[in-house]
Amino acid sequence: MKVSFDFDDTLDQDGVWQYALQLIDRGVDVWVVTARLTDEEVEEEYGTVINGKMNIPFYAGNDDIYEMLEALGIPKDHIVFTSLGPKGNFFNENSDFEWHLDDAPKQLWDIRNKSSVTPISVLNPHWKEKCEDILRRADKQHYLKEWYIKDLEPYNYDYKDYGVFENPNNLAIGWLDDPNFPKGKTPPGFLKKLKKIKSVNRHKGSHTCPFCGDAEGSAIHGIKQGKITYVYPSLLRHYIKEHNYLPPQEFIDVVMSGDFIEARPNPLRRGPRKIVIKRNR
Ligand SMILES: [Zn+2]
């Protein structure tokens, strides 16, 4: 995930650079997009050479940016200078940023008009909540896209919302972003039995088949036998039908036996379900 900060009166402010540091620690790709001139342009515009040294009157160049980036651990190629120009052009061509934080209303307006990147004003007292909100949503989709758990490994989920799932014996079935999944033939009637099992919930984001891109599923299913709950995505039938995936025998046996409890959402919970996915590795 990529985000971007303006420098002057944004990233150079306490609170903002601390937040940038947190993001970096969390693995977010942090960039700086500033309307300043590049070093070369500064030299060309304002530089005079005095005693063999570059002297730049009233304009200190960009050393303060470089210092800050070094302190934060942001690589130098993560700075973009728009040279007094509007930032919307840059974000129009680089739309893979989740948001850009800035204090200049004109720049924010320009970004909103020209690009799909969300501009956030640092002058808004809730700027950090807005940033986090977008990251949370993006993160969820990111995880769903790259979601992969080996069969029969624990399915780590935030179980609070899913009454039936509140036990440590939830095992993953068919969370297949890895192409090296087991292949083979399932017994006759298996897919038909699988079709009857209702889903537990619908995710807000959806999961596209990573192998053909032609199928989408947004729900998860769970079946419980004894202490074990097997948790699988709604794409499972697609994986079996179209990609010849063979689930583990113990799962096949449970489905074929018909002797299981379908996991249901916690009926006590109201409102939108918050999903927090913790990756296993
Ligand atoms: Zn597919």
Can you say how many angstroms the Cα of residue 108 is from the centroid of all Cα atoms in its chain? 23
Q: Taking a C-beta distance cutoff of 8 angstroms, is the pair 33, 80 a contact?
A: yes
Instruction: Report CA(264)–ligand 1 centroid distance (Å).
Output: 26
In this structure, what token pair is assigned to residue 31?
């960039």
Instruction: Report CA(241)–ligand 1 centroid distance (Å).
Output: 9
277 pLDDT band, cuts 50/70/90, is very low
User: Residue 150 — φ and ψ, nearest 5°?
Assistant: -65, 145
pLDDT above 70: residue 280:
no
Instruction: Report CA(210)–ligand 1 centroid distance (Å).
Output: 7
- Mean pLDDT score of the chain: 81
Q: Taking a C-beta distance cutoff of 8 angstroms, is the pair 233, 220 a contact?
A: yes
Which pairs count as long-range contacts for 40-46, CB under 8 Å and 24+ apart, including other chains?
A: 41/81, 41/83
What lies within 8 Å, CB to CB, of 94 at 6+ separation is 117
Q: Taking a C-beta distance cutoff of 8 angstroms, is the pair 11, 21 a contact?
A: no
Instruction: Report CA(238)–ligand 1 centroid distance (Å).
Output: 6
Instruction: Report CA(37)–ligand 1 centroid distance (Å).
Output: 48
Instruction: Report CA(153)–ligand 1 centroid distance (Å).
Output: 22
Domain ranges of the chain: 2-146, 159-262
pLDDT above 60: residue 167:
no
CB neighbour class for 134 (10 Å; exposed up to 12, middle 13-18, buried from 19): middle
How far apart, in whole angstroms, are the C-alpha atoms of residue 246 and residue 179? 13
Q: What is the distance in angstroms between the CA of the first residue and the CA of the last residue of the chain? A: 18
CATH 3.40.50.620 holds for 2-146: yes
Instruction: Report CA(214)–ligand 1 centroid distance (Å).
Output: 6
pLDDT above 60: residue 57:
no
Name the β-bridge partners of 102: 121
Q: Helices (H), strands (E): how many in the chain?
A: 9, 12
Instruction: Report CA(208)–ligand 1 centroid distance (Å).
Output: 8
| Residue position matching structure tokens 């018909």 | 258
Instruction: Report CA(185)–ligand 1 centroid distance (Å).
Output: 16
Residue in 242, 229, 235, 256 with CA at minimum distance from that of residue 175: 235
Q: What is the tens place of the pLDDT at every residue in 13-45?
A: 989 998 998 888 777 899 999 998 888 887 777
pTM, two decimals, is 0.51
Name the β-bridge partners of 32: 5, 79
How far apart, in whole angstroms, are the C-alpha atoms of residue 147 and residue 217? 13
Instruction: Report CA(206)–ligand 1 centroid distance (Å).
Output: 14
Instruction: Report CA(233)–ligand 1 centroid distance (Å).
Output: 13
User: Residue 154 — φ and ψ, nearest 5°?
Assistant: -60, 140
pLDDT, residue 213, reads 75
Instruction: Report CA(236)–ligand 1 centroid distance (Å).
Output: 10
pLDDT, residue 126, reads 93
Tell me what percent of the residues of the chain surpass a pLDDT of 70.
78
